[in-house]
Structure 1
Amino acid sequence: MTESHAEHVGTVVVGSGFGGSVAAYRLAAAGQQVVLLERGRAYPPGGFARSPAELGRAFWDPRAGLHGLFDVWSFRAFDSVVASGLGGGSLIYASVLLRKDERWFVDEQPLPGGGYESWPVGRAELDPHYDEVERMLRPVPYPLDRPGYTDTPRAHAMREAAERLGLTAERPPLAISFAPEPGAGPEPGLPMADTDQGNLHGVGRRTCRLCGECNLGCNDGAKNSLDHTYLSAARRHGAELRTGHEVRAVRALARGGYAVDYVRHGRHERNGPNGEGGGERGDPDGRGDGGGASGSPHPYGSPRTSRTLHTISCDRLVLAAGTYNTVSLLLRSRRNLPGLSPAVGSRFSTNGDHLAFVLRARRGDEPRPMRPSRGPVITSSIRLPDELDGVPGAGRGGYIQDAGYPGFVEWLVEGAHAPQGVSRAARFLAGRLLDRISRAPDPSLSGAFAELLGDGAFTGTSLPLLAMGRDVPDGELRMRGGRLDSTWTVRGGSAAQFERTRTLMRQIAGALGGGYADHPLWHRGRVLTVHPLGGAPIGRHPGTGVCDPYGEVFGHPGLYVADGAAMPGPVGPNPALTIAALADRMCTRLLEHRPATPRAAAHRTYPRRTSLQFTEELRGRYAPGADGSRTEPFAFRLTVTADDVDAFLEEPDHEARADGWIDSPSFGGRRPVLHGSVRLFADGRGTMRYRLHFTDADGHPRTFAGRKDLAPGAPARLWTDTTGLAFRVLNGHGHEPGGTDAEILGTGTANLGATDLARLLTTFRTTGPHGTAALTRFGRFFAGELWNTYALRRP
């Protein structure tokens, strides 16, 4: 491919899903220059595929000339469906907006196969951003108690099944407009007034018709999808939305900022705040024919893909192309992003997705109607308890939801359902044969045709169930043979989670008097997921995360990840709201640290720092109280990070950040470090000081204050001095390393064993340019201080 002349902008956002749309809106609303690149096309109301010919081409595979909505991925142990279009996953999701449970924001929770799940952000921090996203997407529960909506049998069935099992079925918030305007009563199919966010499609919308077509794309515009909300508002504030732009690579520039390489699909690609780019009304990507080849337009696929590689550079780059594509970009661009965390590709999970079916439900001796084609896709949600809820032995929790589908699917299922369909057809043909040889054939065929079509009892009394939950994020995404590959398997650490989910789904089917069946691929050890998460997780340091807790990539200022790839573990419920809230939080932090003027932003350069980190784990004994009459086990594990090695070595305090946990029975077991620091040889003294803030099980603030004292002139004590730590635990959160005013709650000692030391030496990592040189400088500094203290001869 050839490369065209590059252009430069303030911010490039790659992808228009829940992370990218939020970022584009927040930055544009703050007056920033924003260009959003989306590979797919725009889908105005009425633009989604419905006919067999349209659905046959509504898939994403540019190699086959397909540029449609559905992007299907297949890995060794699971298959996955994601979206390609302006609005990303919001175009095909079921509109559920649930918050991640406060107790599920775990920190250092051990995983079955080893390692820990850590969320470096809590529910209290996210709640204001949850509020903001909900304000934009306007979710409401399904109005089951309103006239015209009570006839939704599956919603009542879910509530009854939950009650029989001692659980609760709730109506989750849905980003769907059931009423034509706020404050009005719900009524299907009414015209909706435009909101103050604008309407980038320029096509009218109607309230939900209860047709069950949410996952195919809403042709009425009743879903408050991202194109109708965040993206319309972003364009109103000046963001430029470019569809048909597929990003192939990103790279850091020597002068600061980033370059983005992309190809174009179709003819017209730009959509500025006033609709520039030649697009027709209702088609903001400028392709009235949906991007079809000249002379043979087709709204759901196009063989036209430019082979010219274009480049756009920017001061700030937000990757939000969806989990698979964002991780693929990072892996393919690794050589051009020096110092990228080794955690890239890690902590992948499927969010516990599972599909099963209730078959032929009954109430006593009578068939129990379900009518899955009546209503939106999801009306109800049953929450599975978690051991974190205080339910011993409950395992990792989750959710089970009903799943509706379009009416035409019922025809397909009934027609394919054997042997009943074959038997009816045989009886119909036999009757017609008898009529032909009879001397007095019956002229009325109404009854015969009714019997041929059947009573729809199978589909009318059956119901798909969707499950999701806290599976184990032990998968890895990696490149294999130039293509994305995954190591995740349901037979790994998540096996217990899926079995528990299936058990409850089977119990729901039994409570409804029906049979139970998993989706067909399950029996081949395969999972179906629409919620792939992880691969570029947030974390407290580069050893465990690709990004910091605000989504900025470690070692690469101005590079952010804002989609499902940033999740450090499963969300549990439907992840859309949490992804959007984290993106909103990211933007708040980003804007607080922006340059003072737009001109400064345009010419901003970023220093290339090198960070260093290592992890140590010590164990010992702790004596609560003043008398020290009894002791108990005590342990802690810390990842020590010098964010800038040069600054760390130059500053007299030599202070580094410490993240991790302490483990003590007196304080409620394993407790996360809220704020920690380690000072090595501060002011040239032979002392290493540790200061760790944490809270006990009751939320009381505590401070761990430890020190290693190196005795001059005693080489024989080198091992014991550098591996032994004396500490105190203080009441409150003290900040002065040498302070003695706080109440002492207890004292103890901890030691680094020989095997622990060997393990520590394998944990040294650097991020940023010239990592080997930085590690060498740190080693010389440490060895030099030991030499000065113990008068050891250099090797």
Structure 2
Amino acid sequence: MTQLDAIIVGSGFGGSFSAERLIAAGLRVAMIERGPWRDSTGVRNAGILQRQPFPQGRHMLSHFVSRISSPQLPASGWVTHANGLYDLHLQRDINVLCSSSVGGGSQVYTAMNVAPAVDGFWDARADGLDNVQMQQITAACIDRMGARAPTLADQIPNFIGQRFADDAPFAAHPDQPAMSYDLAQGSFRSNSFFGCENSDKKTLDVHILLPLIARGLQLFDQHEVVTFERTAQGHWRVTLLDRRSDSYRQLQAPRLILAAGTLNTLRLLFGARAAGAIGALPALGLGFGGNGDSLAYWALKDVNADYSIGTPCHGRFVIRGRETDCPDLTSYGISGVDHLLLPQRARQWLKQGVLVVGMGADEANGQVTWRNNRLRITYSAQANPILGKLHQTFDDIAKLSGKKVYHLPRLTLTVHPLGGARVDDNPRRGVVDGCGQVHQHPGLYVADGSALPAAPGAPPSMPIAAWATHVASRIAAQG
């Protein structure tokens, strides 16, 4: 292998946007990804031979969950299938669902790419961060993903703008999310939570990583970081486990960028601290949140509808008369429901309703700690009022529509874990500075959602991409 300028751990929005900026600056970059390439049309057409299927059809059960972790399980967790699509982290206070693939969360996200919903999100966080500049970077990232807001002219099945055009209790939100999806020729089927085999949804593996490989990026899929440490020469040495051959290798570079996803990045940092490879980092684990994620199923029982068809997200909506006070609400069909191993009658019932996902800026006041080589999350739903507001809103939707809305107020589940290595100039409040560098650890950076200063209150893909672009730009400026 040629000498490296940077090693990136993780291929999601943090890793991919970091890599693109560094490759553009002429740096030699290696990327490490624990998950496999997925068997999509775009990956097949690129000639990638070693691929793993999405959990669809006969692979639904075998490839759905990769690993389950819990304080009650061994430190390594329970591996159900090495190449499953999801990791499930079960905790007493909050449960976290994350994906594992080349391309990270873009494989299972709903193609929504939007700016933070919180005004001045990046203001007064750290030196070197400017909200106006970060807004410009965010807009460029949205454009890079080829995202745009759908309109009625697109004639998309089940688009919220059409569904609620003349509805009395509900209305389409005036600001529909930009979507990274082929709105002109997409099939509008099987494109969301179980992956998008036909590549109609723009995912990072096809849209960004394959072109970067052609430009020199070295990508190690199905490799897991075991440890990292600082060498006597001031470089960072990473030990990898090749999950295919069960063998080890080492890489080293002057810069190590952790972008493995919030919980995996925190696991690596806590593990390195416990091994004495890095210092105390007193703020490690502080500022954890779930972005107010709340989920419900709205049983519309519309026998003439098939809500599983459409874009990965049908769009945002509001309760009429509460436009200024209504939390962020989005409607989704259960895309890929036909792949579920359920009786036909159950699948039909699911097609006749929609998922409603609520989000909002929670207080990000949780804490992640490390005990017996495991992450422990402390998070109080009662201390995060947005959760109660969202569940009350679900009840209001049921009353206004006369249709049942099923939700579990006592279950806190997030697919958007954030914080724990947040940006702040004060090492007692944050782990990284305004350039993304870990305090007092030159060359060690964090470029994923764990570094976000707060919950954005909207899907975090673009805030993460913007942060990663900012961090990589600072690195590139060093030469």
Q: Residue 282 of structure 2 is aligned with which of 336, 342, 345?
A: 342
1:274-289 matched pairs, under 5 angstroms: none
Aligned twin of 2:309: 374
Q: Residue 327 of structure 1 is aligned with which of 266, 274, 283?
A: 266
Give the match's secondary structure for 2:244. coil
Q: Call closer, same or farther: CA 1:577–1:222 in 2, change over 3 Å.
A: same
Q: Call closer, same or farther: CA 1:310–1:160 in 2, change over 3 Å.
A: farther
Q: Call closer, same or farther: CA 1:462–1:64 in 2, change over 3 Å.
A: closer
Structure 2 residue 136 is matched with structure 1 residue 128: yes
C-alpha distance after superposition, 1:336-392 (max 9, x if no partner): 34434211111100010010122236xxxxx5855321202212114799xxx9x7x
Q: Call closer, same or farther: CA 1:321–1:487 in 2, change over 3 Å.
A: same
Q: Quick one: distance in 1 between partners of 2:288 and 2:9?
A: 21
Q: Residue 31 of structure 1 is aligned with which of 26, 32, 48?
A: 26
Aligned twin of 1:97: 113
Q: Residue 257 of structure 2 is aligned with which of 308, 318, 322?
A: 318
Structure 2 residue 16 is matched with structure 1 residue 21: yes
Q: Call closer, same or farther: CA 1:333–1:411 in 2, change over 3 Å.
A: closer
C-alpha deviation, 1:76, in angstroms: 1.0
C-alpha distance after superposition, 1:49-98 (max 9, x if no partner): 31234532343238455222211211112222211111011011111001
C-alpha distance after superposition, 1:674-722 (max 9, x if no partner): xxxxxxxxxxxxxxxxxxxxxxxxxxxxxxxxxxxxxxxxxxxxxxxxx
Q: Call closer, same or farther: CA 1:398–1:233 in 2, change over 3 Å.
A: farther
Q: Call closer, same or farther: CA 1:370–1:336 in 2, change over 3 Å.
A: farther
C-alpha distance after superposition, 1:258-283 (max 9, x if no partner): 1111101115xxxxxxxxxxxxxxxx
C-alpha deviation, 1:499, in angstroms: 1.4
Q: Quick one: distance in 2 between partners of 1:70 and 1:380?
A: 24
Q: Quick one: distance in 2 between partners of 1:166 and 1:38?
A: 41
Q: Call closer, same or farther: CA 1:560–1:358 in 2, change over 3 Å.
A: same
The total of aligned residue pairs comes to 453
Aligned twin of 1:86: 102
Q: Which amino acid is the alignment partner of residue 88 of structure 1?
A: G
Give the match's secondary structure for 1:327. helix
Q: Call closer, same or farther: CA 1:570–1:266 in 2, change over 3 Å.
A: same
Give the match's secondary structure for 1:9. coil
Mapped contact 1:153–1:371 kept (Cα < 8 A): no
Q: Which amino acid is the alignment partner of residue 354 of structure 1?
A: S
Q: Residue 174 of structure 1 is aligned with which of 179, 182, 196?
A: 179
TM-score under structure 2 length normalisation: 0.86
Aligned twin of 1:412: 342
TM-score under structure 1 length normalisation: 0.53
Give the match's secondary structure for 1:246. strand
Aligned twin of 2:415: 530
Q: Residue 359 of structure 1 is aligned with which of 272, 291, 299?
A: 299
Q: Call closer, same or farther: CA 1:36–1:369 in 2, change over 3 Å.
A: same
Q: Call closer, same or farther: CA 1:568–1:472 in 2, change over 3 Å.
A: same
Q: Quick one: distance in 1 between partners of 2:286 and 2:140?
A: 30
C-alpha deviation, 1:41, in angstroms: 0.9
Give the match's secondary structure for 2:453. coil
Give the match's secondary structure for 2:445. strand
Q: Call closer, same or farther: CA 1:530–1:31 in 2, change over 3 Å.
A: same
Q: Which amino acid is the alignment partner of residue 60 of structure 1?
A: S
Q: Quick one: distance in 1 between partners of 2:352 and 2:83?
A: 37
Q: Which amino acid is the alignment partner of residue 549 of structure 1?
A: G
Structure 2 residue 439 is matched with structure 1 residue 554: yes
Aligned twin of 2:55: 49
Q: Quick one: distance in 1 between partners of 2:224 and 2:350?
A: 40
Q: Quick one: distance in 2 between partners of 1:106 and 1:166?
A: 31
Q: Quick one: distance in 1 between partners of 2:40 and 2:454?
A: 35
Aligned twin of 1:479: 370
Q: Call closer, same or farther: CA 1:541–1:383 in 2, change over 3 Å.
A: farther
1:113-152 matched pairs, under 5 angstroms: 121-147=129-155, 149=156, 151-152=157-158
C-alpha deviation, 1:156, in angstroms: 3.1
C-alpha deviation, 1:248, in angstroms: 1.5
Q: Quick one: distance in 1 between partners of 2:305 and 2:425?
A: 47
Q: Which amino acid is the alignment partner of residue 131 of structure 2?
A: R
Q: Quick one: distance in 2 between partners of 1:543 and 1:464?
A: 40
Q: Quick one: distance in 1 between partners of 2:319 and 2:204?
A: 29
C-alpha distance after superposition, 1:775-795 (max 9, x if no partner): xxxxxxxxxxxxxxxxxxxxx
Q: Quick one: distance in 2 between partners of 1:383 and 1:582?
A: 29
C-alpha distance after superposition, 1:387-433 (max 9, x if no partner): xx9x7xx6xx841100111241688376459xxxxxxxxxxxxxxxx
1:58-97 matched pairs, under 5 angstroms: 58-61=64-67, 63-64=79-80, 66-97=82-113
C-alpha distance after superposition, 1:418-452 (max 9, x if no partner): xxxxxxxxxxxxxxxxxxxxxxxxxxxxxxxxxxx
Give the match's secondary structure for 2:441. coil
Give the match's secondary structure for 1:234. helix
Instruction: Answer 1 or 2: higher relative contact order, Cα 8 Å, separation at least 6.
Output: 2
Q: Quick one: distance in 1 between partners of 2:123 and 2:354?
A: 37
Structure 2 residue 407 is matched with structure 1 residue 401: no
Q: Call closer, same or farther: CA 1:57–1:411 in 2, change over 3 Å.
A: closer
C-alpha distance after superposition, 1:509-558 (max 9, x if no partner): 4343322220xxx35x2212110111110112212110012211111111
Q: Call closer, same or farther: CA 1:410–1:313 in 2, change over 3 Å.
A: closer
Aligned twin of 1:249: 227
Q: Which amino acid is the alignment partner of residue 254 of structure 1?
A: A
Q: Call closer, same or farther: CA 1:210–1:502 in 2, change over 3 Å.
A: same
Give the match's secondary structure for 1:476. strand
Q: Call closer, same or farther: CA 1:153–1:261 in 2, change over 3 Å.
A: closer
Q: Quick one: distance in 2 between partners of 1:37 and 1:247?
A: 8
C-alpha distance after superposition, 1:446-501 (max 9, x if no partner): xxxxxxxxxx5x4454221011111111111112222111011313x11x211111
Give the match's secondary structure for 1:94. coil
User: Percent same amino acid among aligned pairs?
Assistant: 26
Q: Quick one: distance in 1 between partners of 2:148 and 2:254?
A: 38
Give the match's secondary structure for 1:251. strand
Structure 2 residue 463 is matched with structure 1 residue 574: no
Mapped contact 1:15–1:88 kept (Cα < 8 A): yes
Q: Call closer, same or farther: CA 1:215–1:459 in 2, change over 3 Å.
A: closer
1:263-278 matched pairs, under 5 angstroms: 263-267=241-245
Gaps of at least 5 residues in structure 2 are 42-52, 68-77
Q: Which amino acid is the alignment partner of residue 313 of structure 1?
A: Q
Mapped contact 1:21–1:230 kept (Cα < 8 A): yes
C-alpha deviation, 1:40, in angstroms: 1.0
Mapped contact 2:291–2:417 kept (Cα < 8 A): yes
Gaps of at least 5 residues in structure 1 are 1-5, 109-117, 179-185, 188-207, 268-305, 362-366, 418-455, 595-795
Q: Which amino acid is the alignment partner of residue 365 of structure 2?
A: D
Q: Quick one: distance in 1 between partners of 2:166 and 2:442?
A: 52
Q: Quick one: distance in 1 between partners of 2:228 and 2:181?
A: 36
Q: Quick one: distance in 2 between partners of 1:25 and 1:348?
A: 28
